[in-house]
């Protein structure tokens, strides 16, 4: 098994084990994909990736990180995404849509505009969360969701999965990482509820399990469901950690999850993250070994030999790449050459092979 071995998830077989990690582009209008998304994602498909994961796509309007995020809460948003899907798939890459809800981290400006909160008077909205605890000091307190609103959130994920099917995606990923809504329910640092969705591990993981079950019920049985988690909050005590991540992953496989995409952090702005090359791969390895589920590794994986080692050494089944793919959309072709493998060159580029 190596970086250019095919990977089969249910009926979907990827041509290699390189995935373009979901990366927000903050370039949508009314949640709709446009030419930027076509060129951005299409270039990485032509560059040889096995799986192209579309950015966090909000299941309801108030679930967007920013007003410029992609969304799939309306049927009118299907065809703009389908246009991009068709092109990406035509280049030989499989497509995956990340279904997301930002929770208390919603209604913010794009990073190049400072990333701060956007007030309702400026086109923003009041974020929602498990508990009325803001992400940062000085932010407005979010609205704590009641039981009826939680049922609506679960149904919003399911409805978005139905639309993703209509758009032609071959996989969906449920975003339960990086301090967004589902992660907020997982961690005791952001979840202070006393009802069935707070307190114990069983209760804190309930919403994730309900969302997974609802999406799996709507998603075609032969196609895979992936879940992204943050393995740890990177706090000394009281937060979500890798032991709980193992336990969660162990319970996701019976619900129909094919792969756990293992990232970390994002819940609190004060976390001290010891970032470095491959700094999260060990989490993917432990979850793979102890939970007996396929995993994806992500985080500062930048060299062909490094990515290949992750697969060959059994740390993960899939390597997800973000910033390196921004720097070099043709990383898979370069990696294939460096590793002595056949790269999936587009016929239009064969003269440069």
> Which residues have a catalytic role annotated?
180
Q: Are 15 and 318 in contact (CB under 8 A)?
A: no
Tokens of 318: 């899939």
Handedness of CA 183, 24, 212, 31 (dihedral sign): positive
For 64, 127, 137, the CA distances from 118, given in Å and listed in that order, are 12, 10, 15
- Tell me how far apart the alpha carbons of residues 253 and 121 are, in angstroms, rounded to a whole number: 44
- Other beta carbons within 10 Å of 314: 13
**To which H or E segment does residue 154 belong?**
helix 147-167
Tokens of 243: 């032991």
Q: Are 157 and 151 in contact (CB under 8 A)?
A: no
- Tell me how far apart the alpha carbons of residues 90 and 168 are, in angstroms, rounded to a whole number: 12
Alpha helices in 230-318 (DSSP H): 242-252, 281-291, 304-312
**To which H or E segment does residue 216 belong?**
helix 206-218
- Tell me how far apart the alpha carbons of residues 223 and 9 are, in angstroms, rounded to a whole number: 7
Burial of residue 313 (CB within 10 Å: 0-12, 13-18, 19+) is exposed
């Amino acid at each position: 098994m190596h970086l250019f071995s095919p990977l089969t998830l249910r009926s979907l077989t990827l041509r290699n084990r390189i995935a373009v990690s979901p990366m927000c582009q903050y370039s949508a209008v009314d949640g709709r994909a446009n030419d930027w998304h076509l060129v951005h994602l299409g270039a990485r498909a032509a560059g040889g990736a096995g799986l192209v994961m579309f950015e966090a796509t909000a299941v309801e309007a108030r679930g967007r990180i920013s007003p410029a995020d992609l969304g799939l809460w309306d049927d009118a948003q299907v065809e703009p995404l389908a246009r991009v899907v068709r092109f990406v798939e035509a280049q030989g890459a499989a497509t995956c849509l990340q279904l997301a809800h930002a929770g208390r981290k919603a209604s913010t400006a794009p990073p190049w505009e400072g990333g701060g909160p956007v007030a309702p008077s400026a086109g923003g909205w009041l974020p929602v969360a498990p508990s009325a605890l803001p992400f940062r000091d000085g932010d407005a307190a979010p609205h704590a969701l009641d039981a009826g609103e939680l049922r609506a959130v679960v149904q919003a994920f399911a409805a978005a999965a139905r639309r993703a099917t209509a758009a032609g995606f071959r996989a969906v990923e449920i975003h339960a990482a990086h301090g967004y809504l589902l992660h907020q329910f997982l961690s005791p640092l952001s979840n202070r509820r006393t009802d069935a969705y707070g307190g114990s591990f069983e209760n804190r993981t309930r919403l994730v399990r309900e969302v997974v079950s609802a999406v799996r019920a709507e998603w075609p049985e032969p196609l895979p469901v992936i879940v992204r988690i943050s393995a740890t909050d990177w706090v000394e005590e009281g937060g979500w950690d890798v032991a709980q991540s193992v336990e969660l992953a162990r319970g996701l496989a019976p619900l129909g999850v094919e792969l756990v995409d293992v990232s970390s952090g994002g819940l609190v702005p004060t976390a001290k993250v010891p970032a470095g090359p491959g700094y999260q791969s060990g989490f993917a390895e432990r979850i793979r070994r102890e939970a007996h589920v396929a995993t994806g590794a992500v985080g500062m994986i930048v060299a062909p030999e490094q990515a290949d080692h992750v697969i060959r050494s059994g740390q993960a089944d899939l390597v997800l790449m973000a910033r390196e793919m921004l720097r070099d959309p043709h990383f898979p072709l370069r990696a294939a050459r460096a590793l002595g493998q056949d790269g999936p060159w587009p016929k239009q580029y064969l003269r440069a092979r």
